[in-house]
Amino acid sequence: MAKKIVSKAKLATGAVVLLQQVLANDEVRKALANAPQNVMRWASKKRDEYKTSGATDRLNPVNRFGQKGLERRINSLFEVSASAFPARNDPGRAELLDAIDRMRLALGVAAEMPLAKRKRAQVKIGKQLDELEAAMVEAILPQSPKSIGSAQPAR
């Protein structure tokens, strides 16, 4: 049983590495350049849903950390990726959805583990989610030639 968990973790790591390579592709970056508008619409829709439903448990710490917190992050990433890649044949879409599915699978496996092992698995999944989210942000944001704060002002 432990061997399957290790191999699934390696598959998830491989999926993240593959996704990072896909997000480095210029075609994918061009497709993602339009994503901010879609993401803003999605965020606005989510805010409206929270307001209308009176979602008081939105800030509940139980939903922000641990298993439920990771589930929330994966679901949010899935919804944002659906906005970033609206067409089925968008370059990078399949790899991104595959990476998200692998994260869900790993999280489902971790949910059934004993507490100590589950926490270690959740930390690994959280780190990979951090990398995946950072890669998505990096791919979506416009590229700047140099950092604004790095140049010394002329005297």
Q: In this structure, is residue 59 part of a structural domain?
A: no
Q: Quick one: three-class SS letters along 131-144?
A: HHHHHHHHHHCCCC
What was the pLDDT predicted at 64? 63
Return the biggest CA–CA distance within the chain: 66
Q: In this structure, is residue 136 part of a structural domain?
A: yes
Contacts of 20 (CB under 8 A, 6+ apart): 131, 135
Q: In this structure, is residue 155 part of a structural domain?
A: no
Of 12-26, 40-54, 55-69, 130-144, the range with the lowest mean pLDDT is 55-69
Per residue in 91-122, is it b (16+ CB within 10 Å) or e — as a string? Answer: bbbebbeebbebbbebbebbeebeeeebeebb
What was the pLDDT predicted at 85? 78
Q: In this structure, is residue 80 part of a structural domain?
A: yes
Q: In this structure, is residue 106 part of a structural domain?
A: yes
Contacts of 64 (CB under 8 A, 6+ apart): 72
What was the pLDDT predicted at 124? 92
Q: In this structure, is residue 151 part of a structural domain?
A: no
**Cα 116 to Cα 119: distance, rounded to the nearest angstrom:** 5
Provide the domain limits for residue 125. Answer: 7-39+64-140
Task: Count up the domains in the chain and report the number.
Answer: 1
**Cα 140 to Cα 15: distance, rounded to the nearest angstrom:** 19
Q: In this structure, is residue 51 part of a structural domain?
A: no
What global pTM score does this model have? 0.54
Q: How many CB atoms lie within 10 A of CB 45?
A: 12
Over residues 54-80, the mean pLDDT reads: 75
The DSSP output letter for 73 is: H
Q: In this structure, is residue 46 part of a structural domain?
A: no
Q: How confident is the model at residue 92 (pLDDT cuts 50, 70, 90)?
A: confident
Q: How confident is the model at residue 11 (pLDDT cuts 50, 70, 90)?
A: low
Q: Which candidate, 85, 110, 86, 84, places its Cα nearest to that of 9?
A: 110
